[in-house]
Structures are given as C-alpha cells and as structure tokens.
Amino acid sequence: MSALTASSLFTSSALRESKTTTTSSTSNKNKNKKNSSSFVVCRSQKQQQQKTSASSEKSISLLAPSSSKNECIQQIAAKSKAPPPPAATGPTPTQIAAGVFAAAAIGVTARKAMKKKAKKIVIAGAPASGKGTQCELIVKKFGITHISAGDLLRAAVAQGTDDGLKAKEFMDRGDLVPDEVVVNMVKSRLNEPDCAGGWLLDGYPRSASQAEALSSYGIEPDLFLLLDVPDEELLERVVGRRLDPVTGQIYHLKFFPPPDETVAKRLTQRSDDTEEKAQNRLKVHHANVNAVLSKYKNIMKTIDGNRQKTTVFKEIEGLIKSM
C-alpha cells in the first residue's frame, strides 16, 4: 500500500470517529435533556399530589377530626351521594282546618266586643213623665250608670255649695238652672270611671244650649228617648208624689202608695212638686223640648208614657237591644 493510500484511510477513519463522537455527544445531550424534562414533570406531579393529599387531609380533619382517614373518606363519599332535600309543600288539610277555626274564633271575639260597646242614652220627658221609674228598669236590665241632672243639683243644694245655692234660687221658682251651673257637674260625672261601660243621662240636656254644651265636650248620645204624657196626667202625677228621706224612694199617694204607715208618716213633698210650680215647669219644658229634639232628631224615639210601666219598658228594652 502506498503512502497516499494509507494517509487517505487514516483521514477517513478519523472523520468517522469524529462524526461518531459528535453524534454520541449530541445523543447524550438529548438524552440528558429528556431526562431533565422527565424529572421536572415528575417533580411537578409529585408536588401536586402532595398538595391534593394535604388538602384532602385538611378537609378530612375538618369534617371528622376524631375519625380515621378511611372513615372520613367514606363520609365525604356518602355526603356527595346524599339525596336532595324534599321540595317545600303547602299546608296540610289539618293546618288549613285549624286556620279556619282560628279565623272564626277571632270573628266571634270581634262581634262580642262590638256588642259590648258602651251604650250612651239620654232619656227626656216632662216632670212626672215616668223617667225615674224607667231609668231604674233600664239600669237593672243593662247595667249602665244612671245620672240624673236633678239629683246632681239637689245634692249640690243639700251640701250648700256655691253652685248649689245658685241653683236653689231657680229650682224654687220652677225655672231651668243656668247652663254654666249644670254643665260642669254633668261633664265631671260622665268622666267618672263607672261611666266607661255606658251611661243613662236623665233630665239633661233640657235646652238647645245645653245640648251644644255637651257636644263641645265631645259628649254625644247614641239614643234619645222621649216619654210623651198628656199635661193633665202629668199634673196629677206631680202633685201626688212623695219622697222617703230615708231610702230615697219616690212614692205616689194614688198610683204607688207607701208599703205601711211607718213609711207613710216620714214621707215629704219636694218643694217644686206643688201644682203652681208644676204648671210653670211644664211651660218651660214645652218651650225647650223642640229645640233639643232638633239636635237629636236622627237618634230620637218617642215613647207613649201614658201606659203601664212594664208596657213602656218593653218598648224601651227593644230599642236599646237594637242599638
């Protein structure tokens, strides 16, 4: 073999070795790079698993700190498979019936309260028309408070108060007592606690000015009863009236005599029950009654008072019950 040939072979061999070395080096680099990438992926996956495991352990510890991991995992799985809560439903028939009965009970209570509304009544009539007798029957039947303007005045006269002394001068003449003397007494009496359940005002108001005075204080009756009796009958009733000073009972020498001689001996006649004064009082009554009735015409009922007291009361009772 010549020197040129040997040199060429050496050069070719050296080139192959160099290429092989280069290829091997490149392969090793690629292999190292792949191994490095695989390591990074593996490391990332491992970290993610650790985070997931830590999160699961934390959830397990929060849900059931006293249980084992397996038990908690079973609990979590059971909760995830739990059925949804039942849908909301309407009231049952029993609940509906209970509501109906409750509403009915409330309605009954309301109607009872309305029936118990305080009855505010005025009863009017000439002297001896029977107001006192009918007032007693009304109070006994309905339990409301009877207020007599005449009794208030007579009590003031008996006590000798300033208003009583002023009133006595007019009463002795058979005249109406001035409004300023009476209205305050009546108003104060109507504001007493026993009048809260209802009242029966007897003999007041007797004039339009007195009716207006009551209205100015917010006092309005619901029913105005007028007892109508002929004047001749009224005079006979007045003149024959007698008062028992011990019991306050009023008798009549003809129509309602005292029960025995002992009571009869102590009876007295009121100073304004003489025939002369009775006639004057009738004139005053007739002069003022129309003005009062015009004020209360929408609630006024006229009663024939020239009948037996039980018959008169039966009519009055029906009117009050219908209020």
Active site residues per annotation: 131, 206, 241, 270, 281
- Contact between 178 and 148 (Cβ < 8 Å): no
Closest CA to 304 of 138, 135, 130: 130
User: What SS3 class is residue 95?
Assistant: helix
Closest CA to 134 of 319, 252, 309, 322: 309
In this structure, the number of other CB atoms found within 10 A of the CB of residue 152 comes to 20
Give CA–CA dist 186/204, Å, rounded.
8
Residue 212 token pair: 């207006």
Give, in order, the Cα–Cα distances in Å from 254 to each of 140, 262, 271.
25, 17, 19
Angle at 207 between CA 206 and CA 210, to 5 degrees: 90
- Contact between 124 and 221 (Cβ < 8 Å): no
Closest CA to 61 of 51, 82, 75: 75
